[in-house]
Structure 1
Amino acid sequence: MGLSKSFQLVLFVIFGLLLYRIYDLENKEMQLQGSLAIQNYSQHLNQMTEWNEDGEALYKELSKTFTFKFFQYIHSNDSELNYTFGSLAKSDDEFEDKIFKIELSDTKSFPDGRLQVRLSTQSVISTSFVNLEKAATLTIFAYLIIMISFAVLMAIHRRGIKYACDYIEQVPNLSFQAVETSRLRGSLKPIGLALEKSRMELKTSIDNFHKENNLLAKAANQDPVTGFSTRRRFNEHIKKISQSDKQQFGVLAIIKAAELSSINQLQGREAGDEYLSQIAACIRRAAAKFGINEYYRVSSSDFALFIQDITVKEAEKFLILLKGYLDEYAQTIEPDSIAHSGMVPFESNSDTHALLTLADTAVSIAQTSGPNRYHILEKFSGNEQLGDDHWKVTINELINRKGLKFFQQPILPCNNHVDVYRELYARFFNTEGSNLPTASVIAMSERHGLNVDLDKMIVVHTLQLLNANPSLTGNFGVNISASSALQEVFVSWLRDILSSHRTTSARLIFEVNESGMQKNVTASRRFVHEMHKVGAKVAIQQFGLGFSSFKFFREVKPDVIKLDSSYSEGIDQDNNNKFFVRMIVDISRRIGIKVIATGVERQDEKLTLEKMLVDGLQGYYIARPEIIAKTDK
């Protein structure tokens, strides 16, 4: 038993005995007062002579002086002189009677009768009970004061001990914060001085050890192909950040080599090693301006690097430079997709597993965006942290529950002869009604093979929306994944369901990502052909990112191409983009394909694109997406 509990027990026993002693004294005093009351009654009764042996007269006379709980006079010969008041049975209605047990009874015999009485104990008990109540109140109050004071002192003492224990527990984690000696006063002061001395000596020894160990480990943990540090070094570094006492922030970038397995299979390991070496060179060139001195190869095809003390907005310059170098390298080899990048911010208290999961999700999103693209996830929304298994369960549940809603964004026609449409954006939400990140849902559905089911849900919901809301007039664009569009099973299903909704299907334009459609030109051509059979149209999104774009759209011949937003950005000042857009518009007009410019966010961009004779404009400057709330049943 600890000191605190022992002290409390002893204190409780002492005050308990004290309270019992007070009760015993008051009880004895009450018994004495009770005896005096009986004596007084007996003397008074003996002095009475003129009551004519009438019980009622005797009661009335005695009642002037005494209070009875029970009074009974029984005459030996004449029952009319008998008199009874009250009850002989005990009554403990009063709390005082339960505390103090006393009985004031007396029986007296007369020549012609017998008298039995029980006096009221209230007058005898009340004084003792009041005294006991006062004494008990003072005793309990004193006990509480002592206990509270002791508890406060013990809490202060425990807080100091806990601080010392917590500090000692952090020593194995190499935490060397200064000891707060103000929290270790009095008898704990020597502990504080000892901890501070140990801290200084241990920190000096470990710093020297780390310097020597880093030199040896850097030479031992180096990838021979790229010259980057290995996964082990990466794990040590990220652990050091997560457990650091110093406030740190920055970004973590993950770069995934997209074509390593393909090059290894088709051209051999040497070509694969050259491919990785070139990507490593691109990473070094892009990071040269950011003071980075260590890079990591965390798996066969994944690279990583940390940029310290920088915001996400500033670090995006690295991704832009890297994409430029990767695009340059792509022109020298057959695949135009070299690597994809993901970036996430970190702080010194970031959870390691959650950070890597978020970075992996960012790379997955980048892979669905086009060749050599990057993606940034700036913060946790709650779902990225829980890993692939959670995403699989979440998406399955989302599909079964049909947890989506639509936003719409109109496209502005540049002339009256062009029939444009409104694009529908699917927004997903979980069981709590919180929005899920759309790009993450789509990326994870493709990773787990759920994209077909997800696209089916979107198509069915779109048909229900348009059929149930006659006020939604005109044409609507529906986004579906390229991987679904290239699957014959999905295309057959889509053709069959649209055949039963001919009127509605004629109002639909299916928007598919260009980079995904380029993977299989034959399947892409079949998809466009089947959609035309049922009256629907096809639009190719993010057009112009791939190096085979012209060949692709000549063979597939979609109804609409939507230029990637990068061509609209600053086009009023970018002559290269102007040349590309003019060429696309000229070719498209000859083969009957409409051209839509996306990402229009400034008036100068709008005016420039209109002069270049694009068929439609889409972007925040034209109209922001808005939820279909007023008409969506």
Structure 2
Amino acid sequence: MNLTRMLTTRLTRFWLWSLLALLVIGLLFTFVGYWRIVSQQQQQQLNVIQQQLLQHYRDGQLTQADNWLPPLLALTDITEVRIWQGTQLRQQFSRAHASNGQRSMRLLLDEQADIWAELRLRSPWQHYFPSSGDWWLLLTTLLLLLLLLRLGYLWYSQQLQGMETVADRCRLILKGRYPQARNLSSVSHPRFINRALSKLLDELADARKERARFDNFIRSNTFLDHETHIGNRLFLDNRLNALSNAQGMMAHGVLLLLEFEELEQLSGEGQMGDYLNLNVAHISRLLHSQANSVFARRSYNQLAIVVTQISLAEAEQLAAKLIKLCTSLLPRELQNRSNSCHLGGAYFKLGDNQQQLLEEAEMALRAAQIQGVSTWFMYDKGAVDAEFARGSVRWRSFLELALEQRRFVVFAQPVFDTEGKLHHQEIFTRAKEPNGTLVRATLFLPMAAKCGLLPKIERQTIEKVVYELLPKANAEAIFSVNLSEDTLMNNDFMRWLRTLLLEHRDLAPRLIFEVDEAVASRCQQELQPKLRLIRKMGARLCVDHVGLQVVSSQYITEGSFALLKLHRSLIKQIHLRAENQLFIRSLLGGLHQTDVEVIAEGVEQFEEWQTLRVLGVSAAQGPWFADPEPAAVS
């Protein structure tokens, strides 16, 4: 309560000095009035003595002054009267118990005979001496004054008690921490200010939620199928574009096309929609274990599934499970239930053409339909990457040996702002074979997740950044490191990270930790303590792959993320995609009053970067700027 104490002290001092000023002014006027009254009384007494002395001198009765002068002196402040003739003292009259006077006055009686009288008067200040009762009265007055000051101080403290809370709430509002400011309410004075702030913060929170709902509405109407609530054809195209570049596909995987026949026989009201939704629900649960899967509706009776980082054998098992599942869900109303569901798949590898992939999947689907029964067919060119064909045991051995020998190499990709200045560098990891060959992260990370080695790999990556890159780089160099869900949920890793950041608090502000949007939106409650710990240590948080999933953007402000990276599926050909531009405009509009920086990933063309700058994106990274290179000290 520093502010309350400070204001109370200042007001109390002002009040005290005001009272003291009034007291001094009152005492001054009292002193002047007392002096004037006593002076007037003494002057009147002198006039009476002078008249009596002149009258008795003319009557020749001055020698008989012993009879009338002492009683008269007892009624005045005159302590002594001396009659002089020249320098000769002729008569002297004194009060019996009078003290020595403080001043004397000369009164001329006869100028020719040089007879004059000397009068001695006591000082007006000796006219009054305080008694013991007066001292007690003065002491009582001082005590009452002190008591009044204390009561006034307490009253001011009570009246200003809420000012500290108001100041704290205003400070939180200026920092953009609106939920904390809303929770810090006060029922003390000033009540109207607190009520006004609470009302405005409530309205702001409602507006932000409404903005998030509107943003989610735009996402849903742009990328979701209204009937099945999964991705639409535009959503599928964006994801396929994100998985490819000018050189072709960037990862291994499979594209599956699932088509239902004779759905027009389901003539009941909403029966076809119910059947599709039933299949979508079961397929979604089946794909839940596939972290890199994409599920969309390509046409009214065709569903598309894309799964990356999957082997050919696993893709064939998945296709068989899908056909078996969909066949078991066929309604009895269909006449030809044995030939109502077909699946065609195309397995792709690194560098395959995207358009050719779609054609191969459609060819496989037609091949399955020719069979005359509900079945599946896989279009396989025998293109299985040798690196990806490792068994799980061999992958675990390779990764554990790489961890032990610290054979993980860090690559850095620069991120540039709109002025062309280096914003930060994102760190990527590659594993080195014993023969020196580098294994891409897209290959070993899914296997590391299955083996539970992600926390160890990401810990080794952070150690390389903190111990090798940051100390030797220039003072403005900033690096970002990706953290997976498994790593964030690992308590041992979080304890290690807290110790590391505490030991290197000077380097913590130069670190950015990136979290996937799917994880940040799905695990908000579980992640809050982890993210709060990272923020308190001084590092910043970034949410990655924004736009890959259709989720509400409310988690961005609730998680206090400082940066936001748009997924490459939104960026590719954005100058030709009005719906993607609408999504980014909506997202930036919702973050207008925050300090969140929006960064684009995967920029490949100048037109894309130019469009992003017009939309208001803060920075970007991608092949158009620079590809990831081995991290070097600058």
Which structure would you say has the larger Rg? 2
TM norm structure 1: 0.44
